[in-house]
C-alpha cells in the first residue's frame, strides 16, 4: 500500500507501520487471554494501547483521502 501523494509518504508509512505493530500486539494479547495468562495479557494490552495511540497520531496528520485508504484496507482490523 502506497500513499497517493509523495508529500504524505513518510507519515503514511509510519501510520501503516504502527498499525502492523498494533495488529501483532493484538494477536499476542488474544493468545494470552485464551491461555489465561494475566501477566502476559496486561503486557500485550498495554503495548496494544500504545501502538494504537501512535497509529492514531500519525493517521490524523494525514488528509482524509489517505485516512480512508488506510481505514478501508485489510490491515485495519478494528
Place of cell 500500500: 1
- Rounded to two decimals, the pTM is 0.89
Q: In this structure, what C-alpha cell is assigned to residue 22? A: 498494533
Query: What are the tens digits of pLDDT across the range 47-70?
Result: 999 999 999 999 999 999 999 999
Angle among Cα 13, 5, 71 to the nearest 5 degrees reads 55
**Annotated domain spans of the chain:** 7-71
How many residues appear in the chain?
78
Query: What are the tens digits of pLDDT across the range 3-32?
Result: 888 899 999 999 999 999 999 999 999 999
pLDDT for 77 beyond 70: yes
What's the CA gap between 10 and 26, in Å, rounded?
24
Amino acid at each position: 500500500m502506497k500513499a497517493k501523494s509523495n508529500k504524505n509518504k513518510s507519515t503514511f508509512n509510519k501510520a501503516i507501520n504502527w498499525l502492523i505493530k498494533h495488529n501483532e500486539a493484538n494477536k499476542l494479547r488474544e493468545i494470552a487471554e485464551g491461555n489465561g495468562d494475566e501477566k502476559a495479557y496486561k503486557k500485550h494490552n498495554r503495548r496494544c494501547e500504545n501502538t494504537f495511540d501512535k497509529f492514531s497520531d500519525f493517521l490524523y496528520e494525514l488528509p482524509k483521502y489517505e485516512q480512508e485508504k488506510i481505514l478501508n484496507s485489510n490491515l485495519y482490523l478494528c
